Amino acid sequence: MPVWPIYQTIETNQRSTTVWLGNKSHQDTKLQIQVVAWHQENNHDVYHDPNDVIASPSFTSIPTAKRQLIR
């Protein structure tokens, strides 16, 4: 599934940003969108749910050969 842009950063002066998800499969795809914060400690990945960032829509269905905008 194509995702663009690949790397996403929200600057402190931004209220939102967008990501596109594409469906190149031969069937509709249902997704749950989740925002995850990430950093490394002692060479290990550490993930946690950010309290101040949400994805909209958080659930979506993308038809074959279509794309969906996520904010």
| pLDDT single digits (tens) 20-69 | 999 999 999 999 999 888 899 999 999 999 888 889 999 999 999 999 99
Number of domains in the chain: 1
Nearest to 33 by CA among 62, 7, 66: 62
The answer to whether the pTM exceeds 0.85 is no
Q: Cite the DSSP H helix spans in the chain.
A: none
Helix (H, G, I), strand (E, B) or coil at 13: coil
Domain of 29 in residue numbering reads as 3-70
